[in-house]
Structure 1
Amino acid sequence: MTNTIPTTLYRAERLAPLLDSADDIGDAETDSYRGLGFLAVRSLLTDSEVRGVLDGLAAVVRTPSAASVDFEKWAQPQELDPDNLLDGVRKLQGFCAHEPRLAELARHPAILTTVARLLGAEPVLTQDMALLKPPGGGREKPWHQDKAFFDIPLGTPVVGVWIALDEATIDNGCMHVLPGTHEEGPVVHFVRRDFQICDTEVQTHRDTAVPLPPGGALFFDGLLHHGTPPNLTETRRRAVQLHYVPAGTVRTPTEDRLEVFGAEGKDATC
């Protein structure tokens, strides 16, 4: 398989419904989450909070720390405007321990209250990450399950919170999900464009796009199939993602995870 992205891999015929805010999540909405594997809200963060998160991410990129910063392959950091370094960044990870504004985000009351409801347990942050899609060259994040990346017991519930920091649109790489796939168990992943579900196994007929305004958010199950197409527009599509597990969750050997989700080439070809 080449690194070419099939043109039919992401579809936009179906859009996810949006609740106005996390305050609208009650028993019926929680039941819907259990069945679909996701909930989306139009407004989670205020404009001021969004700006604070963006400023925090920019500070992480400008200041060397233990946080992980990966630039797009085409980007030359030394040639980028120091005030716009985020325009060349592919991914940031592990920043909450180094940037107070981002640590505050992870403790946001609306996030913790919602995640506790969806987990059915006290939530603990297990991963913080930002996947950015700079204008004109933000890469795809292929279809995958987030639990394929976490060394935790297989039966542990995981809730991801994906927060748009710019307008996330069909054209610039908003989130796409396959409703209900979280109930179908782990899927073998392969190293192709990323650690991903094989393109030929993606059930694109179930594709539901989740465009969001700045400050909008998607809550989703760690086994839900999801991905984001590339950003080929001249607009920014920046987002931050947090993952939570129940308090007391232990880590397991990486080998246990790969036995389930597949080391490269396990059981099939792609």
Structure 2
Amino acid sequence: MAEAGFRFDGSDGSAEAYAPELYSPAAEATTLAHLDDVGPAELAFYEDHGWLLVRHVLEPGEIEEAVRGIDDLVAGRNRAFDGVYYENAARGQVEAAPSQRSTDHVRKLAWFVQHDARLNAIAEHPGILSVVSRLLKGVTPRLFQNMALLKPPSVGREKPWHQDHAYFNLPLATPVVGVWIALDEATVENGCMQVLDGGHKLGPVPHWKRRDWQICDTEILGRRSLACPLPAGGALFFDSLLPHGTPKNVSSARRRAVQFHYCPADAVKVGPEERLAVFGTEGKDVSC
């Protein structure tokens, strides 16, 4: 339970050290310039590799509006919103001076689109939805998850390697497209996304509760990732079975992003038991 109503993301061990070799990219991912560049060849690339990286998705004005929306939610200007989660490294600071809350302390925001029209406009961006629909083989997409991932300077911690589908109570066969949009320049130093190219073809990988709900480090060590640096306004489109992670922010630069997940409009939910039967470790005779 967070003190004085404040939520802190992760356990007390969430800042646990990790092997630097977990984030030693072999190369940087290739990028497209614009959403209009996504054609049949790019859709085939996504099928084969599990991702597309687009440098220019949001205009400067849209980025500014999104940042203002996040700042307003963090500052508590919408009292109906309670989805702010702080970094454990900020424990003791934000409670002492709640009037000075800032994104320098926040790890993530969850379920915000219904609380801010500026952020909702990005989730409903026609160009983004057009690409998502094509990645979903032409079906109408439905937004079912939204987060802002802020990774503050110096204190923004790692998000260990994982598959997003391991978090979703959806049948394994349900296609899901994630869209991760940079609101600041995202670099290797400040914790840009890293992916295992083509790793979605591995299928579901058991996840463990270690530093987070994650793929075991031993499954990642020895594999070379691709780094996905982006300018502000760029986006990564990725399959929900694509293994990915972000190292801690070791720089003095902010790395704010918003993330949306879309599934077919007619997708049905399942219980957590069905999800854990696929991604959980219980009874699978495996170890980490």
TM normalised by structure 1 equals 0.95
- SS of the equivalent of 2:66 reads helix
Q: What residue in structure 2 maps to residue 149 of structure 1?
A: 167
Q: Once structures 1 and 2 are overlaid, which stretch shifts more, 56-65 or 44-53?
A: 56-65
Q: Which runs of 4+ in 1 moved over 4 A?
A: 78-84, 263-266
Secondary structure at the counterpart of residue 114 of structure 2: coil
How big is each residue's C-alpha offset from its partner over 1:16-41, in whole Å with a ceiling of 9 and x where there is no partner? 00100111000000000000000000
Count of residue pairs the alignment pairs up: 270
- 1:224 matches 2:239: no
The aligned counterpart of 2:36 is 23
Equivalent-residue separation in structure 2 for 1:124 and 1:142 (angstroms)? 27
2:260 aligned to which of 231, 242, 247: 242
Q: Does 1:180 align with 2:198?
A: yes
For 1:265 and 1:234, locate their aligned partners in 2 and report how far apart those are by CA, in whole Å.
44
AA matched with 2:172: L
Q: Distance in 2 between matches of 1:233 and 1:214?
A: 17
| Among candidates 150, 153, 159, match of residue 132 of structure 1 | 150
| Corresponding residue for residue 226 of structure 2 | 208
Deviation at 1:80, TM superposition (A): 6.1
Alignment-derived partner of residue 189 in structure 1 = 207
Deviations 1:174-225 (A, max 9, x none): 0000011111110000001100000000165330000000001000000000
Could you say what secondary structure the match of 1:242 adopts?
strand
Give, in whole Å, the separation in 1 of the partners of 2:141 and 2:284.
Answer: 33
Partners of 2:36 and 2:134 lie apart in 1 by 12
Worse overlay, 220-229 or 56-65: 56-65
**C-alpha RMSD of the superposition:** 1.9
Letter in 2 for 1:163: I
Write the distance in 2 (CA, Å) between the matches of 1:114 and 1:5: 35
Q: Distance in 1 between matches of 2:32 and 2:204?
A: 28
CA deviation vs aligned residue, 1:83-132 (integer Å, no higher than 9, x gap): 76111101110000111111111100111001001011110001001111
For residues 217 and 239 of structure 1, the distance between their equivalents in structure 2, rounded to whole angstroms, comes to: 9
What is the alpha-carbon distance in structure 2 between the residues aligned to residue 65 and residue 261 of structure 1?
A: 34
Q: 2:58 aligns with which of 45, 49, 54?
A: 45
Q: How does 1:230-269 map to 2 (within 5 A)?
A: 230-262=248-280, 267-269=285-287
| Residues 1:67 and 1:36: Cα distance change in structure 2 (over 3 Å) | farther
1:13, distance to aligned residue in structure 2 (A):
2.8
Note if 1:94 corresponds to 2:107.
no
Query: What do the CA deviations read for 1:19-69 (whole angstroms, capped 9, x no partner)?
Result: 001110000000000000000001100111111111111111122334411
Counterpart amino acid of 2:23? Y
Counterpart position of 1:60: 73
Query: What one-letter code is carried by the residue in structure 1 that aligns with 2:191?
Result: G
Structure 2: state its 5+ residue gaps: 1-12
Find the aligned partners of 1:123 and 1:40 in 2 and give their Cα distance: 19
Q: Structure 1: which amino acid aligns with 2:107?
A: R
Q: Please state whether the residue corresponding to 2:27 is helix, strand or coil.
A: coil
Structure 2 CA distance for aligned equivalents of residues 180 and 237 of structure 1: 25
The DSSP-based 3-state class of the residue aligned with 2:260 is strand
Post-superposition shift, 1:265?
A: 8.1
* Percent pairwise identity: 51
